[in-house]
Amino acid sequence: MAAPLTKVSLRNVAAHKVRLALTVVAVVLGTAFLSGALMFTNMLSSTFDSAVDTALGDVDAVVRPGEGDGSIARDEVDAIRADGDAARVNLYAELPVVVATQDEVAIQTQRGTSRLGLYYGEGEAVGRAPSLIDGSAPHAPDDIAVNANGAARYGIGLGDRLIVVDKDGRHEFTVTGLYDDPLAQETSLMLRVGEDAYITDYTNGERLPAVTVRARDGVGAPEVVEKLKGAHPDLEIRTGADVAEETSKQIREALSFVSYFLVAFGLVGLLVGTFLIANTFSMIVAQRTKEFALLRALGASKGQITRSVCLESALVGLVGSALGVVGGVGLVAAIRVAMNSYGMPLPDAGTGLSARAVAVPLVVGTAVTVLSALAPAMRAGRVRPVEAMRASESAAPQPLRGRTIAGAVLVAAGLAAAGAAMAWDGAATGRRAGLVGLAALAAVTGLFLAGPALSLPVVPPFGRLIGAPFGAVGRLASTNTRRNPRRTATTAFALMLGIALVTVIGMLGASMKQSVDNVATSEVSAQYVLTGPDNGAIPLPDDLPDRAAGVEGVGEVVSYLQAPVTVDGEYGHQFGSVGTTDVLRGNPADLISLHMVDGSPALDGDTIIAPADVAQERGWHVGETVQVAAPGLNDSTVEATVGGIFDGSNIFTTFVVSGQVAAELTSSSTARLLMVGVNGDGSVDDETLRANLEREVRHDIVVQVRSTDDMSGEVAALIDQMLFILYALLSLAVVVAVLGIVNTLTLSVIERRQEIGMLRAVGTQRRQVRTMIVLESVQMTVYGAVLGILLGLGLGWAFLDVLKAKGLTTVAVPWDMIGIVLAGSFVVGLAAAVGPAARAARTPPLDAIAE
């Protein structure tokens, strides 16, 4: 009997292509993202391995400063060059810089970077020399070469004068050459100068950056590395191959977030798709009850029927997964196009297709489909020959009591877990967030189980409300959704998941923007803030505060720095072996608004101020003395007084030292000026004050004059860009859910063919049949959307409350987005019903009755 049942399964798949087509599409969408993620990862690996090999392929040794050192003594570099096994030695460094044209207008690289390194031509370079496309190599002190693709993008040509600003000052160069760099993006400017110019302009002449070494012929990389390690034990010396592998790994990890996103949303798509698949096979099994009964009567066993349905689901999963792999290839191509449009082109390294990128989606997609169809398949196996042949699925509704009770318990457990996470103040944020995750899982599972019972008091009344203007057709549509609450709830549940995710992400984005706006408007008290490049790699000029104080219309000026000083042996900020502490020169109240718990915010004389949690942890009180030191720079210490303790601040998260204390222990060259707050004296209006400040800092190039609105607006734009990507990917879940509604309505029309035919026979017009199907669709979509919004609001509130410790001080609800989602659910309901409604309206009355 097994072979005939296999034939039956194959024929059923071939005969009911429309029934299964949308299920196949759901599998395709989920597996395409999984396959695309694997292919993209493969493509990144081959792309950057090749590019890094181009840069470091012929480098035998890379010599870096030892741990804790930022540079190498020039004597040691000279000794390496004098080593008999070293044929060539190059300095190796890349400094972050800001590039400006001759009129002192900075070139905005936006998504790219501006960096300066060294140029070595053929016969000098360790490794492969840059390929000079036009002009000549930089030899003179003010010569510079620029990557050709970046020069073309920003309109830089041979002979142009460029101003290059780094953390120590500014230099002017003339562009003498354009070169090709396989690692340089067109949005970036990679500048190269000669070795002599680099040493003169960017070092003190005594300390040099890392070096690369090419061994003489006959000496291998391991041998030269071991020899150099023996001669220079304080330096970090590794083979070029090791550094190339490390660099490739770092680049892949930096871009791996794209793969993680694709995998995550592929899994979300498959998760939502499981409900579509399960619903589809449940309806198909119900429609084929008589067929299964006949097979049972002819001798087929329960297991054979179950395996037959599982085989059909496996075929659907296999076909969908195979098409998903093809979709993955298209997805990778789309990502390449998108990155090109964003100025981040990827070198041509194929599609990334591999055995793993094909096998994993095939196995996962097929397994998900079979598991989703397993419950309907087992239900098919339980069909009894005689009873099933005289009963229909609608005549034998399944009880809801047990699953409703279980669902209610799970929802209650989810609420309790979310409440516990919000009330658990002393715990780590990660643990509280994990508890919210468990609450989400319990709530989602509970709503799935209790959904049918929950829909009964909600969907039919809503159906009667929206169907009232349509008379009997509206009442009939309401009755149809009440007849099978399981189907209604399962169909709406898929949409609920997608909408819940969109709502949570919307709340996160709105709260982030509101929190940033609150910080800018409520914490920053200065009229204007002078800042440098966003990455903080280039500090502000040391004389900026004094110059700002002399600008017409300027009153108070306060400077925010970071210096390598400790308070009671601790740095305020520790980054590996490097530590810094916040320093303020001037009255903190002129820069930010601090709510003082005790003492005064004024940093007069030898004083410090600290947040309340930091002070409590260290046992500090106002009036107490602490020891301030500068390890490695100064052997002396300064006794400072704790002058004030303030409530938590998003700007100052740790203790702040007065400028006077820092000046006693460090020099200006060791401190980094990060921000200058400026207030007007009232003699000019705000716009004039801003214009005067901008005129003063124009020559600095790296300094920006920003108001609180500017700061919050810039961050809000970045958040919107992030949310756009998330919404685009989350739309996958909504698309799959809409497919589920289309599938449910289509199968419902097939199942109710006789009923619809009877309605047509007694005079119901085609437009009335179409209206009935559309009303059913709108009921399910609006119900799913409302349930999803409520679930998303609850989970979003709990999650954001937990994240308050991370700076999200405000929980905001994006009401405009929620309104759009609700309105969109009506549109989705209308759109999803177009095909099924047209099919229902075409039902021939006499043919349907004859069946």
What number is the average pLDDT over the span 142-154?
Answer: 91
What number is the average pLDDT over the span 138-155?
Answer: 91
pLDDT at 608: 92
Exposure class string for 268-306: b at 16+ Cβ within 10 A, else e: bbbbbbbbbbbbbbbbbbbbbbebbbebbeeebeeebbb
Predicted confidence band of residue 166 (pLDDT cuts 50, 70, 90)? confident
Question: Could you tell me which residues are beta bridge partners of residue 207?
Answer: 73
pLDDT at 728: 65
Q: pLDDT at residue 145 above 90?
A: yes
| Among 228-237, 280-289, 322-331, 455-464, the least confident range | 280-289
Beta strands in 155-285 (DSSP E): 161-166, 169-180, 189-193, 207-208, 210-215, 236-239
Residue 346, number of CB atoms within 10 A of its CB:
18
Predicted confidence band of residue 716 (pLDDT cuts 50, 70, 90)? low
| pLDDT per position as a tens digit, 499-535 | 888 888 888 878 877 776 666 565 677 888 888 876 5
pLDDT at 394: 44
| Pairing of β 634-646 and β 607-611 | parallel
**Which carries the bigger pLDDT value, residue 347 or residue 550?**
550
All residues at 6 or more sequence positions from 737 whose CB lies less than 8 Å from its CB, including other chains: 272, 276, 494, 495, 497, 498, 784
What number is the average pLDDT over the span 278-283?
Answer: 74
pLDDT at 137: 92
CB 126 within 8 A of CB 140: no
| 766-802 helix and 708-751 helix, angle to the nearest 10 degrees | 140
Predicted confidence band of residue 392 (pLDDT cuts 50, 70, 90)? very low
Q: pLDDT at residue 162 above 90?
A: yes
For a pLDDT cut of 90, what percent of the chain falls above it?
11
Distances (CA, A) of 548 to 165, 309, 388, 559: 20, 78, 89, 11
Q: pLDDT at residue 395 above 60?
A: no
Query: Is the four-CA dihedral 787, 791, 793, 794 of positive or negative sign?
Result: positive
**Which carries the bigger pLDDT value, residue 715 or residue 804?**
804
Distances (CA, A) of 837 to 95, 284, 435, 831: 65, 19, 44, 10
pLDDT at 85: 84
pLDDT at 396: 47
Q: Residue ranges per domain, the chain? A: 1-58+247-396, 59-246, 457-526+709-851, 527-708
3-state secondary structure string, 94-137? CEECEEECCCCCECCCCCCCEEEEECCCCCCCCCCCCEEEEECC
Report the distance separating Cα 641 and Cα 662, nearest Å: 14
| pLDDT per position as a tens digit, 203-259 | 888 888 888 888 888 888 888 888 888 888 888 888 877 877 777 777 666 666 666
pLDDT at 136: 92
| pLDDT per position as a tens digit, 320-340 | 889 888 888 887 777 777 766
What number is the average pLDDT over the span 98-107?
Answer: 85
| pLDDT per position as a tens digit, 400-430 | 788 889 889 999 998 898 888 888 876 777 7
End-to-end CA distance of the chain: give it in Å, rounded: 29
Please choose, from the candidates 30, 534, 566, 518, the residue with its C-alpha nearest in 3D space to the C-alpha of residue 276.
30
Q: Record the tokens describing residue 728, joined without a space.
A: 């685009």
Mean pLDDT, the chain, rounded, equals 80
| pLDDT per position as a tens digit, 622-678 | 999 999 998 877 778 889 999 999 987 777 888 999 989 888 888 766 788 888 989
Q: How far is CA 428 from the centre of its chain?
A: 23
| Pairing of β 143-147 and β 131-135 | unpaired
pLDDT at 157: 92
Report the distance separating Cα 444 and Cα 438, nearest Å: 10
Give this prediction's pTM: 0.65
Q: pLDDT at residue 265 above 60?
A: yes
Q: List phi, psi (to 5°) of 850.
A: -60, -30
Q: Record the tokens describing residue 634, joined without a space.
A: 């100064």
Tell me the three state secondary structure of residue 628: strand
Find tokens 């549509």 and name the residue.
477
Q: pLDDT at residue 88 above 50?
A: yes
**Which carries the bigger pLDDT value, residue 255 or residue 317?**
317
pLDDT at 63: 87
Residue 227, number of CB atoms within 10 A of its CB:
18
pLDDT at 393: 44
Q: pLDDT at residue 347 above 60?
A: no
pLDDT at 626: 92
**Which carries the bigger pLDDT value, residue 82 or residue 273?**
82
The DSSP code for 809 is: -
Q: Which long-range contacts (CB under 8 A, 24 or more apart) does 165-169 make?
A: 165/97, 165/98, 165/99, 165/100, 165/538, 165/700, 165/701, 165/702, 166/95, 166/96, 166/97, 166/98, 166/116, 166/202, 166/538, 167/95, 167/96, 167/537, 167/538, 167/539, 168/202
Find tokens 């457990």 and name the residue.
413
pLDDT at 391: 45
Residue 16, number of CB atoms within 10 A of its CB:
16
